[in-house]
Amino acid sequence: MPRHRPRSNGFPRTPPPREEGPQRIAKLLARAGVASRRDVERMIAEGRIALNGEKLTTPATLLNDLSGVTVDGKPVRPAAATRLFRFYKPQGTITAARDPKGRTTIYDRLPPGLPRVMPVGRLDFMTEGLLLLTNDGELKRQLELPRTAIVRQYRARAFGRVTQPQLDRLAEGVTIEGVHYGSIIANLE
């Protein structure tokens, strides 16, 4: 019998949180959905984050939990359970929270009522397809790290003539403008 029974959405149930030692406050607040770690560091510098009524002066503060932590004078709720969402990213949207050029972002297309979510990886502006979103920055990081060797699969349309022998050479990796890209297994449909 499987350890985690799938829910109706096809994802396994979230395992119970593992016990960890003290962590940096920026990590805890990011996990609780307050802001990104970098933004939390700015908020600390601005004097907006306090612990037991005392404004924090350093993001190196280590805590076991968020008890007594306030942001702009309001208590912080504990982090929600880790969640993973599937999102079909349409063409003509950027995988970012904001775009200086004013283009539509994935956040403009997400349904209302979602918790603070982050994309796992990214798809180009004119690329469409499945994009995973999560409320857990640590899970996002683990899924994106090359060492975790999670297989990513893409379907691409090429203009012009492409042969299977050309695609087979991608298995050795390819160097473009001095940057070497790893092995790609590519097949013609």
> Residue for token digits 């022998």?
165
Beta bridge partners of 70: 50, 75
**pLDDT for res 120:** 92
- Would residue 124 show up in a list of annotated catalytic residues for this protein? yes
Q: What is the pLDDT of residues 152-165, one digit of tens each?
A: 888 888 889 999 99
Phi-psi category of 177—alpha, beta or left, where left has phi over 0 and alpha has psi -120 to 50? left
pLDDT band at 2 (very low <50, low <70, confident <90, very high): very low
List alpha helices for the chain, DSSP H.
25-31, 37-45, 106-109, 137-144, 164-168
Q: What's the pLDDT tens digit per position in 56-71?
A: 999 889 999 899 999 9
Judge contact between 119 and 100, C-beta under 8 A.
no
Active-site choice (39, 65, 108, 124): 124
